[in-house]
Structure 1
Amino acid sequence: MSLTPIFFLGFFEASIAVFSIIYFGYTLLVHSNVQIPFGPLRWLIASPQFHHWHYANQREAYDKNFAGQLPVLDVLFGKYNVTGDKVLEKYGVDDPIPSTYFGQIGYPLLPRRKLLNRAAPSTEA
């Protein structure tokens, strides 16, 4: 669906298909659990290690590594997290996440106050 405008601009279906295969393959690579050193290309091409820091629940990773393909954009806007060979300690968020599918879909829509109240430890004995 997102490539529909490209089709209407006159690109050939075969070109769109090749691009789609490469792009979706790259997306699988970036989200995979592997550590591949990209060397000097790490500034140009997002690696799995670079992108994993976007999902980290560690202070040094907060609001970092937003770029899906071009880490140089994060460098330009001061959002690049230089991680070296460091491995993530924890992913996700500290809030309790619902276990059901629809609960997880609606989770971002809940008011923040309710999330804080749910996550607060009980003081009743």
Structure 2
Amino acid sequence: MTDIPAFLSTAPRPLFGFFPVALVFIAVELLYMRLAHHADEQDGRETVASIGVAVGDLASRILTGGLVAIPMLFFYRHRLFDIPLDTAWSWIALFLGVEFFYYWFHRASHRVRWFWATHAVHHSATHFNLSAAIRLGWTGVISGAFLFFLPLALIGFHPAAIGLTLGLGLVYQFFLHTAVPVRLGPLEWVLNTPAHHRVHHASNETCLDKNYGSVLIVFDRLFGSFAAEPAGEALKFGLKGREPSTSPLHIALSEWGYLWRDFRNAPNLSRKIRVLFGTP
């Protein structure tokens, strides 16, 4: 088990090291939007709540992150191939693999309530800005999000490299949440961009369950989940049917409470299973 320390020390580093940088960018965006007279894109209490959620998320990763190493290393020790990460092509293959499995993980996080209970945290902000990016659920490891990436270890990619690639993808996604109206021209066809991600976060009917990509948007285009921003329609943000909160604890755990309530009240086993694994 000598690989465990390497995995634990390498995989989370982008997220932990980036957190203070993220706070600086959040402050800069807040100042810019105020100077540009777009203060309505920001809410001070909501931003503070997002920071509280982010601190809890980092703490949960410290406490539960080691649980991911055990199944990852088990699959890696029984890998089908040896893939040395000493060429650009092997890193490109890993990047595309992570993007592919991230797409299906993200799609399941919207379509399966068990995973949505964690992911709903990220969609709970009623304003779309950089502070919304750091609202990440505390229970991702416990709910089994890592299961989607086990095939990469079985194929032969080192768990540390998988974790590093995922972490760098999350750093990229942080900037997708900017309130500044950024357009990237022809790159919008290939990359996930702030314009695409605004649609993903919007609670408008035409925007629900769209644009799941991490860095790339190509899998959304391939699998029919892409949507452009609706013309002439203001985007709304936040969770449909849920009252917004400024309590980090409520934000992080309330959806699990609703899930438990509906599970407990379901009249039979088949309905209980549907509550857990049906659509939110």
Q: State the TM bucket, normalised to the shorter chain.
A: 0.5 to 0.7
Partner of 1:50: 196
Distance 1:58 1:49, change over 3 A: same
Task: Give the drift of 1:78.
Answer: 0.5
Partner of 2:11: 3
TM-score in terms of structure 2 length: 0.32
Partner of 1:109: 256
Distance 1:86 1:33, change over 3 A: farther
Cα deviation digits, residues 72-108 of structure 1 (max 9, x gap): 1101111000227767421111311343111111112
CA contact (8 A) 1:53 1:61 kept: yes
When the two chains are superposed, the root-mean-square deviation of aligned CA atoms in Å is 3.8
CA contact (8 A) 2:238 2:244 kept: no
Identity %: 21
- If asked which structure has higher relative contact order (CA below 8 Å, sep 6+), I would say 2
Cα deviation digits, residues 5-47 of structure 1 (max 9, x gap): 9xxx8769xxx9xx89x75663332111122222221121111
> Distance in 1 between the 2:11 and 2:259 partners?
35
Partner of 2:247: 100
Alignment coverage as a number of residue pairs? 110
TM-score in terms of structure 1 length: 0.65
* Higher-helix-fraction structure: 2
**1:72 matched to 2:215:** no
Distance 1:28 1:87, change over 3 A: farther
2:172 equivalent among 17, 23, 26: 26
CA contact (8 A) 1:65 1:79 kept: yes
> Distance in 1 between the 2:182 and 2:176 partners?
10
Distance 1:92 1:65, change over 3 A: same
One-letter identity of the residue aligned with 2:222: L
5+ long unaligned stretches in structure 1: 116-125
**1:83 matched to 2:193:** no
> Distance in 2 between the 1:32 and 1:26 partners?
11
> Distance in 2 between the 1:92 and 1:44 partners?
27
